[in-house]
Amino acid sequence: MDFRKAILKVREANKILIVSHYDCDGLCSAKILKTTLKKEGKETKIKIVKEISKDIIREIEDEFEKENFDLIIFSDLGSPYLSLLPEDKDIIILDHHVPENIKVPKNIILINPYLENKELCGAGICYLFASKINQNPELIDYAIVGAIGDNQAEIGENKKIVSEAEKIKRLKIEKGLKIFGHVNRPLHESLKNANFFPLNTYSEVVQFLSDINLNQNGKIKSYYDLSKEEKEKLLLEIIKERIRNNLEEPANIFSDVYILTKQPRELMDALEFSTILNAFGRLERYDEAFELMDGKLEKLEEIMLEYRKKLATYLSFVAENMNSFPQTENILFINAKEKIDENMIGTVTSIVINSLTNKKIVLGFAYSGDMVKISARSKIERVDLNEIVSKICEKLGGTGGGHKEAAGGKIEKGKEEEFIEEFKKIVEK
Ligand code: C5P
Ligand code: ZN
């Protein structure tokens, strides 16, 4: 990726509007850009958005004129909607979504690893860009968290950033147990959620820990708090228990744990950090997200509690109505209407495909004013969701885009069934 033109544009500008996506990767992108540009003496403002649409572009244009900005940087979004962007303003796009297939307009500098057949998350692109402007090694943490948030840390160019972070000792990768909440969740809670073998209640988990002499003496510890010997013992006993239960691949319980060595304990597990940022984003607590990244943790617990409650309600709704949703052998359509918040439908769809169904493709539909927000996730290699979702959305007068295995879009209310029929037709073909 060639950043030269973009750097020149930034040097010329005084007041820069950063428009970024509301998910973890987008929030990390904005944090990196803001910190870097501020250090250069630039005045900046961050605007976090859920998507690009005509209305949002109009808002951005108004803000641009009223507050006398001289440059817009779009991060972690923008590429799929090149023809919607303003034509008379200087624009830099630092994004990894599949670009709209048109000639890039003259006022836009598009930097996108997709154009070079490479994979790098939005925050990774922003980090590379930022490190050509000034040196802020601590910002690499956000490139890592962005990559984890987008499920890309072990893919393509992201791996180079991961290695760099290890080299400068801001990141330590440990082989650990495949659970969520390595550092900040009590071990019995992480274990119960992990489903390594049937453990139905917390007391069963506590009993298991006590049987293997890992009883925590009344203190609630996380996986991270165990000694090396205790961790080894736990891993071994889980594998034994899986063998006893005749489970397939009994040793399939490991995953890499990304520890950010310089972050406070609450944020040092990059996977937990990314979940937190996604939660703040989905609840539209953007200011609090940036405060959190500045080290202010006061709101963390309250916001995560709200998020978990909402998510639990939505997941129960899906579980209870699973059989009544439209479906084929391979595809599930969660037609949630007003029952699931449009901001959360993507997260719900991801969780459902990963742990609540055997279907290979899951789509979620949630009301969004007069429109319906669509989220799509696939585990079938040959299916390109970006292509399919953007094509159908466009045909139905809406917009859509994203990546091969995860895409989203918006159509008018009432067109869900038409969308579902079109989708089935294309995928079956
Ligand atoms: O919203 P959701 O999480 O389902 O989005 C999945 C992917 O598709 C994300 O990377 C998102 O940025 C992208 N997307 C898009 N255009 C939309 C909706 C989602 O490019 N209108
Ligand atoms: Zn991204």
**What are the Cα distances from residue 34, in Å, to 31, 75, 107, 301?**
5, 11, 22, 26
How many CB atoms neighbour CB 79 within 10 A?
Answer: 25
pTM for this one? 0.93
Phi first, then psi, for residue 299 (nearest 5°) are: -85, -5
**Ligand number nearest to the C-alpha of 113:** 2
The neighbourhood of ligand 2, an ion, using CB within 5 A, equals 25, 76, 122, 150
Residue type, 416: E
| CA pair distance 353, 372, nearest whole angstrom | 20
Please write the tens of the pLDDT for every residue from 8-23: 999 999 999 999 999 9
Q: Are 238 and 197 in contact (CB under 8 A)?
A: yes
Query: Is residue 401 within 6 Å of ligand 1 at its C-beta?
Result: yes
Residue with tokens 């980090």: 127
Cα 191 to ligand 1 centre (Å): 31
55-64 pLDDT, tens digit each: 999 999 999 9
Q: How far is the CA of 244 from the centre of ligand 2 (A)?
A: 41
Tens-level pLDDT at each residue, the chain (429 residues): 999 999 999 999 999 999 999 999 999 999 999 999 999 999 999 999 999 999 999 999 999 999 999 999 999 999 999 999 999 999 999 999 999 999 999 999 999 999 999 999 999 999 999 999 999 999 999 999 999 999 999 999 999 999 999 999 999 999 999 999 999 999 999 999 888 988 878 889 888 998 888 876 667 689 999 999 999 999 999 999 999 999 999 999 999 999 999 999 999 999 999 999 999 999 999 999 999 999 999 999 999 999 999 999 999 999 999 999 999 999 999 999 999 999 999 999 999 998 899 999 999 999 999 999 999 999 999 999 999 999 999 999 999 998 999 999 999 999 999 999 999 999 988
Residue 318 contacts residue 349 (beta carbons within 8 Å): no
Where are the CATH 3.90.1640.30 domain residues in the chain?
4-148
Atom number, ligand 1, closest to the C-alpha of residue 98: 20
Task: Provide the CATH topology of domain 311-428.
Answer: Diaminopimelate Epimerase; Chain A, domain 1 (3.10.310)
CA distance 277 to 294: 13
The finding on whether 373 has its CB within 6 A of some atom of ligand 1 is no
**How many angstroms separate the alpha carbon of residue 7 from the centre of ligand 2?**
21
Query: Which of 25, 27, 51 should be mutated for ligand 1, with most atoms under 8 A from CB?
Result: 51
282 C-alpha to ligand 2 centroid (Å): 14
Class of 4-148 per CATH? alpha beta
Pocket flag, ligand 1, residue 78 (CB < 6 Å): no
Please state, in angstroms and rounded to a whole number, the distance separating the CA atoms of residues 103 and 206: 60
Mutation pick for ligand 1 pocket among 97, 112, 150, 372 (CB with most ligand atoms within 8 Å)? 97
Instruction: Name the region of 235 (left: φ>0; alpha: ψ -120 to 50; beta: rest).
Output: alpha
Determine the Cα–Cα distance for residues 270 and 195; give it in Å rounded to an integer.
22
Contact status, residue 161 vs residue 140, Cβ threshold 8 Å:
yes
**Cα(59) to centroid of ligand 1, in Å?**
20
Start and end residues for every CATH 3.10.310.40 domain found in the chain: 311-428
